[in-house]
Amino acid sequence: MVEIRLAGIAAAVPETKVLMEQLPFPTSKHKDQFTRHVGVSEKRFSNNLLTAGDLCLSAATQLLTELQWDSSSVGVLVLITQSPDRLMPSTAINLQEKLGLPHSCLAFDINLGCSGWVYGISVVSSLMQTQGIKRGLVLAGETSVLTSEDYLGYFPLMGDAGTAAALELSKDIEPMHFQFYSDGSRFQAIHAPNSGARHFADGGIESGLKYKAQMDAAQVLRFCLHDVVPNIQSFMEKHQADTENVDHFVFHQANQLINESMRKKLNIPVGKFPYSIGQFGNTSSASIPLTIVTQLNEQLASKQTLLCSGFGVGLSMAHVLLKTEHVKCLPLIEVKLPVR
C-alpha cells in the first residue's frame, strides 16, 4: 500500500522580537507570574507588516529549494490559518501563484487554530492517496492581527510564525494514524466575538479586523486536562504507543502550565516533551511544526516516531502518530520586516 511520508519541514518567523519585560504589565508581580505560569519570555511579532501568508511563503520557498522539487510536481497546497491575507479569495490560491505551482494544483485554506496542523496533514495525505498526487504542501501560519498590544490578557501569549511541511507518496514508510475530536458547544472558550457575518446578523455595525480574540483560560485548562488527556490516552492505547516506543511527544504550545500538567498526567519524560513556547509564544496552528524545526532539527536525520497533538480553538483536538526518516529540516528562517 502506498503511504505518505514527511519529506521536509521549515519554519519562518519575523526577525523582530518582543521581550515580555518590555510590555506594560500592571506590576512586576503580574509580569513574573505570567512568565512563570505561561512560560513565554519572548515572542516574534510582525506588527501587522507581515501576514501569515508572507511567512508561509518564505518557509515554503526555501523548503522547495532545499528539496530540489520542481514546482510543477506539487499537486496540492493547503494553508491552515485564522488570520488569512483576505477574507476572499483563499490565501492558498495566491500562494499557488507565488510559488509557481501548476494550475492543476488543488489550493485552499482551512480555518482552524491550535489543532490545525494535524488536520492539514490528514487532509493533504488523504487527497494525495485518493487522487494519486505525488507531492503536497501543508502550510500553517498565524499572526497577531486578532490582538492589540494593550490587551495583556492575550497579546503577550500569541506569537507570529509561518511553516511548511512537504509530503510525498512512499512505499517505504509506515502509515500515519489520526484521531479527531470536536465540541462546538464550548466555542466561546476561545473566540473572536465581533467578527465575520455573525457579527452583522447579531446587530453589529463595524467591519474589518477591529476586534479582539478572547480566551477563558480556566475553561481551556479544564478542556485540556479533562478531555484532551483521556483522548490522547485512548489514542495511544489504540495504536500501542507508549513512552518507550515514541521518541518525542510534540504538543501544541498552549502555555507552560497547561502543557506541563498534561505531560505529568500522561507520564511523559521531560526529555521527550520539547518546548518552543519560551522563545516564540503560542503560534496556534504553526506551533507543532515550529517546535519540530527549532527543537528536533538534528534528530529528524534518523528514524523517529512522533506523536503530535493539537488542541484548543473550536474546541477541537487532533492527534497523529507518524514515523519519520531522512526528513529535510531547515534551520529557522528569520524574515525582516518591510519598510513602510
With 60 as the cut, is the pLDDT of residue 18 above it?
Answer: yes
- Predicted confidence at residue 139, as pLDDT, reads 98
Question: Residues 154, 185: one domain?
Answer: no
Question: Residues 150, 225: one domain?
Answer: no
Helix (H) or strand (E) holding 237: helix 229-238
Lay out the sheet containing 304-312: strands in order across: 177-182, 316-324, 304-312, 248-251
Residue 29: left if φ>0, alpha if ψ -120 to 50, beta else—which one?
alpha
Would you say residue 182 lies in a domain? Answer: yes
Would you say residue 122 lies in a domain? Answer: yes
- Predicted confidence at residue 206, as pLDDT, reads 64
- Predicted confidence at residue 210, as pLDDT, reads 54
**pLDDT tier for residue 171 given thresholds of 50, 70 and 90:** confident
Which residues make beta-bridge pairs with 282? 158
Would you say residue 135 lies in a domain? Answer: yes
Compare 204 and 328 and report the one with higher pLDDT: 328
With 60 as the cut, is the pLDDT of residue 164 above it?
Answer: yes
Q: What is the mean pLDDT of residues 18-47?
A: 84
Would you say residue 316 lies in a domain? Answer: yes
Distance CA 81, CA 162 (A): 9
Q: Which residues of 80-113 are buried (b: 16+ CB within 10 A; e: fewer)?
A: bbbbbbeeeebbbbbbbeebebeeebbbebbebb
Question: How does pLDDT run across 246-269, given as a tens digit for each residue?
Answer: 999 999 999 999 999 999 999 999
Residue 196: left if φ>0, alpha if ψ -120 to 50, beta else—which one?
left
Under 8 Å between Cβ of 120 and 61: no
Poorest-confidence range of 19-28, 97-106, 167-176, 287-296?
A: 19-28
Question: How does pLDDT run across 61-79, given as a tens digit for each residue?
Answer: 999 999 999 999 999 999 9
- Predicted confidence at residue 28, as pLDDT, reads 79
Compare 161 and 39 and report the one with higher pLDDT: 161
Poorest-confidence range of 23-37, 112-126, 286-300?
A: 23-37
Would you say residue 201 lies in a domain? Answer: yes
Question: Residues 16, 165: one domain?
Answer: yes
CATH number for the domain that contains residue 113: 3.40.47.10
- Predicted confidence at residue 339, as pLDDT, reads 80
Would you say residue 88 lies in a domain? Answer: yes
- Predicted confidence at residue 199, as pLDDT, reads 67
Range of 233's domain? Answer: 177-328
Give the number of domains in the chain: 2
- Predicted confidence at residue 152, as pLDDT, reads 65
Question: Residues 264, 157: one domain?
Answer: no
Distance CA 280, CA 70 (A): 32
Question: Residues 148, 251: one domain?
Answer: no
Distance CA 117, CA 102 (A): 24
Question: How does pLDDT run across 81-111, given as a tens digit for each residue?
Answer: 998 988 889 999 999 999 999 999 999 999 9
- Classified as helix, coil or strand, 270 is helix
Question: Residues 148, 8: one domain?
Answer: yes
Question: Residues 156, 238: one domain?
Answer: no
Residue with cell 494544483: 105
Q: What is the mean pLDDT of residues 286-298?
A: 97
Question: How does pLDDT run across 182-240, given as a tens digit for each residue?
Answer: 988 887 777 777 777 766 667 766 655 555 777 787 888 788 899 999 999 999 999 99
Would you say residue 340 lies in a domain? Answer: no
Would you say residue 145 lies in a domain? Answer: yes
In the chain the beta strands, taken as DSSP E runs, fall at: 3-14, 17-19, 42-44, 74-80, 106-110, 135-142, 161-170, 177-182, 190-191, 214-215, 248-251, 304-312, 316-324, 328-329, 333-335
